[in-house]
Every structure is written in C-alpha cells, then in structure tokens.
Amino acid sequence: MLENIDLKELSSVSDTKPSFVSLYLKAVGDQEKFLKSRERECLKALAGDRDLKTIFEKNMTDIREFLKAGRQSKQTKTFAVFSSSPNNFFEGYLLTLELDNQLIVDTSPYIRPLAMLEDEWESFAIALLDHSNAKLYLIRSAVISDSKKMHKDIMNKHKKGGQSQMRFQRLRKGAIDHFFKDVTENLEKLLDKENVRRVILAGPGNAKKEFYDYLPENLKSKVIATLDKDLDIAEGDLISDSLHDFFKKEREEENEMVQDLRAEILKGGLVAYGVDDTLEAVTSGRAELLLVNMGLRAAGWKCEHCSIFRKGSTKNCPSCGEPVFGVDVVEELVEAAKSMSTKIEFFPDNELLDELGGLAAFLRF
C-alpha cells in the first residue's frame, strides 16, 4: 500500500556518488528483456569506473533476488525497488497500481513516480447499504484494505391499519435510526484510521439518501457521490464504478487550487512560481504546498557535498568546488519537499501552470 511507504525517509538518503539503483518494473510483461537492456546500457556508461560498475552489479543482484521472491504475490502490478549496497540500503515494495518500467542510477532514490501515485490515489471509503444491511470499505491503492459488514433485523410489513400501523411505523423508523447510528459510528472509526476525507455512498433505493440526511455535518462534508448499486454487487465492480466519482472530485479540487493560485498572484499574495523562485521557496522551508505539472523536466546540477541543486549546467560546485552531477531539478524539488513534509499536488496538464513554468508553491510566510 502506498500509505506504508515512507517517502520522507526515501528522500532523506543520498550518496556522494551514483550508488543508488531505483527500479520500477511491471509485474506482467517481458520483464527480463527490459532489465537486460537497461543493464547493458548502464554497464556501458559505467565502464570507465570499476568501483561504480561493481556497485551497480551488486545492486542488480540484490534486486533480482527481491523480484524472484515477490513474483508470488498475485495482487502485485508493479515492483518498486531501491538499492545502494555501499550504504547498506535496500527497500522493495509490491504495488497494487501500475507504473511504467524505469531503471535509474543516481545519487539518491528516484521517488517521483511514487510521489505522483501518493497524490493521485488518496484513500477513500465506500458505504454500501440499505435499511438493514451495510458494508463499509476502506479503499487504499485501488484495493480494499479494511471492511466491515453490519446487519439488523427490521420488520418491513404490517397488515393492520390505524393506530397499530402508525405505531409500527414509529418503531420501524426508530430501529432504522438505531441501525444508522451504528453504521455511522463504524464509518467514523474506519475514516479515522487513515484520516480519510472522501466517502462514497451506494446502495439500492432511498436508504443511502436517508443515511446521508442522518449523518452529522462533519461526515456529510466528506460525501462526494451517491451511487445506485445492488447490495450483492461484486466488490471489484463497486470499486471500479466508484473511481469515476473519486477522480472527478480530484480534478475539481485541482481546479480550485489553480483558481486560488491565480487569485493569490493577482493580489500579490504568498506564492512563488517558476523553477528558480519555487526552488528557493521549497529549499528554504517556506513552501506549504508545491504544485507540479506531471510531465515537467528541468535539466540542472547537484552538489552532493553541499546538498544544493540548481537549474542550468556547471562542472564544479560554486560553493565548495567539488564536481557536480547532472540532475532533473524537478525530481530534486520533489525529494526536497518530501524531506520537509511539504504537501505536493501533481497536475496532469494545466495551462496556467505551463505559463508559470510548470511549478508553483503556496507559501507559509
């Protein structure tokens, strides 16, 4: 699960030489063909440095052992592995979401794909219910990570009329309210586990609407959609159908962020944009929220001795004089933001962000 991956920890480790191998590998497909091709390319590039070549080969041996063991997991769609033998560092994950194949050799773990997944696949809950049955699901990384089933016997018919019928209706409503109270309490417990802020209500008939009206305001504000679904719907189909509304809400929130960004720029508020200003804001700890266009790349350099990075090119660090490494400045920004617990939002493609250089940040001060 993405929530079990500590990106802050991954972003905090580095070396003064490119001793880290980061691998993202689809669980289905010609894995060996991709691995052999990238190994050949990397070995050619490292041919002039015997020590780095040996480190790379050791890393790949450790990674292949992990892949061999991990292939037994049927839910795995992508392997994400980070290895640096000189630093005794190895982390491997079996992801339930699919990522493109990548093998990166660098001075630190390449975490941008994981950071984008973490932003895109926030946990959410589904409450599938009628007046007497409820199934509560916590969805993490597109799979069910926790669930609870509930049932209460409630009479549905009464043959007599008059006062007897009215009394029956009062008793029935009281029983339904009591059932809704139990469901609400269990839903709150489920949401508190992950600090979940999105809920989808589903079920047949009017029960889901009545349940929504019953909810306290703090839970009502988390409901993003209601779906007409049978109680016996397959869990996989329920998740698939819910994802449409989940991502619709994601896009709406992204649009709201961009509108807030525009408003802050127009009034000269606490924002930074463009590579240089955003880099300064993030590395100085002033950035509260980093906004990144997903496809953005920016060539730059990094000095591992000084832990500074900049856009452009140079052979030696202007601060300490040591040789520098070529880097993607956006990847370094993502790592820096994660190391400082700065929230990151990735945008599939946004015109305003493009005009601002593909990067922006809301500032704390």
At residue 304 the predicted structure's pLDDT band, cuts being 50, 70 and 90, is confident
Q: What is the pLDDT of residues 177-212, one digit of tens each?
A: 899 999 999 999 999 988 899 999 999 999 999 999
Gap between the Cα atoms of 342 and 161, Å rounded: 63
Q: Taking all residues of the chain, what is their mean pLDDT, rounded to a whole number? A: 92
Gap between the Cα atoms of 175 and 151, Å rounded: 12
Q: Return the CATH superfamily for domain 121-251.
A: eRF1 domain 2 (3.30.420.60)
Gap between the Cα atoms of 108 and 131, Å rounded: 54
At residue 161 the predicted structure's pLDDT band, cuts being 50, 70 and 90, is low
List Cβ neighbours of 362 (8 Å cut-off, separation of 6 or more): 260, 261, 264, 270, 271, 287, 288, 289, 291
At residue 157 the predicted structure's pLDDT band, cuts being 50, 70 and 90, is low
CA distances 159 to 111, 156, 165, 168, Å, are 65, 10, 8, 10
Please identify which residue in the block is written with the tokens 């020590």. Answer: 51
List Cβ neighbours of 349 (8 Å cut-off, separation of 6 or more): 293, 294, 295
Q: Provide the residue ranges of all domains of the chain, joining segments of one domain with +.
A: 1-110, 121-251, 270-365
User: What is the reported pLDDT for 332?
Assistant: 94
Please identify which residue in the block is written with the tokens 């209460």. Answer: 152
Q: Return the CATH superfamily for domain 270-365.
A: Ribosomal protein L30/S12 (3.30.1330.30)
User: What's the CATH architecture for 1-110?
Assistant: 2-Layer Sandwich (3.30)
Would you say the pTM of this structure is higher than 0.95? Answer: no
Gap between the Cα atoms of 355 and 38, Å rounded: 35
Q: Report yes or no: 13 and 87 within 8 Å, Cβ to Cβ.
A: yes
Q: What average pLDDT score do residues 70-75 get?
A: 75
Q: What average pLDDT score do residues 45-71 get?
A: 93
At residue 14 the predicted structure's pLDDT band, cuts being 50, 70 and 90, is very high
At residue 170 the predicted structure's pLDDT band, cuts being 50, 70 and 90, is confident
Q: What is the pLDDT of residues 200-250, one digit of tens each?
A: 999 999 999 999 999 999 999 999 999 999 999 999 999 999 999 999 999
